[in-house]
Amino acid sequence: MNVDDKRKAAAAEDEATEAQAASEARAESEARAGVEDPHAVKVEGPADEVRDEIASYVNRLQRLQAEFENYRKRSAKDAAAIEERVEDRVLLEFLELYENLDRAFASYTSDRNAEAFVAGIEQIFAQFSRILEQRNVERIPAVGTPFDPALHEALLTAPSDEDRNTIIEEFSPGYRRNGRVLRVSRVAVSQGPAVQEEQE
């Protein structure tokens, strides 16, 4: 090998060394700057998998919470609509009673026929009783029956010839429907016969 060839080989070797050094310096600079090497293989560890799984659960819970909130709002709206329709049905029945009362009073105002007015009121009362009966509403027995705190409210107690804890007077009736108490009876309850002091 002559001198020129040796010089060319040395120059080529120097260029390769400089290129490698420049590449290593660039890689080191990018690593310090936080730039990922596109050719590098990314290895995910257990911590990354756990983080992803937790994020998945959180997203799922958030969706379920939103769905439940929507369901709760829909249920409340549907319940309110059903309640309103039930009230409408009851009001329609009582509107007929109201109209009959209105006609009875109008008739009495025009002709002052007390007998016809009383007959009309009796018919309206019978109509009212039929509505309650159709809805299984019944009056709670009171006077002469034993006092039951689940059915009766004692407003006072008094001595009487009736046995102790027997209802002797009803101030306002109670009602129940299908075995469920709508309103308790307000009553007076016997204390039993009065105890008379012996005379000396």
Predicted local distance difference test score (pLDDT) of residue 12: 61
Q: Per-residue pLDDT tens for 18-43?
A: 666 666 666 666 555 554 555 544 44
Predicted local distance difference test score (pLDDT) of residue 27: 61
Which CATH entry fits the domain spanning 139-194: 2.30.22.10, 2.60.40.10, 3.40.50.10860, 3.40.605.10?
A: 2.30.22.10
Burial of 145 (0-12, 13-18, 19+ CB in 10 A): middle
Q: Which strands form 185-190's sheet, in the order they lie side by side?
A: 152-158, 185-190, 167-172
- Pick from 125, 126, 108: which is nearest to 116 by CA? 108
- Tell me which of 100-104, 165-169, 195-199 is least confident: 195-199
The ranges assigned to domains in the chain are 52-135, 139-194
Count CB neighbours of 159 within 10 A: 13
Q: Per-residue pLDDT tens for 108-166?
A: 888 888 888 898 899 999 998 999 999 999 999 999 999 999 999 999 999 999 999 99
175 with 139: CB under 8 angstroms?
Answer: yes
Predicted local distance difference test score (pLDDT) of residue 43: 47
3-state DSSP percent of the chain in helix, strand and coil, to 5:
60, 15, 25
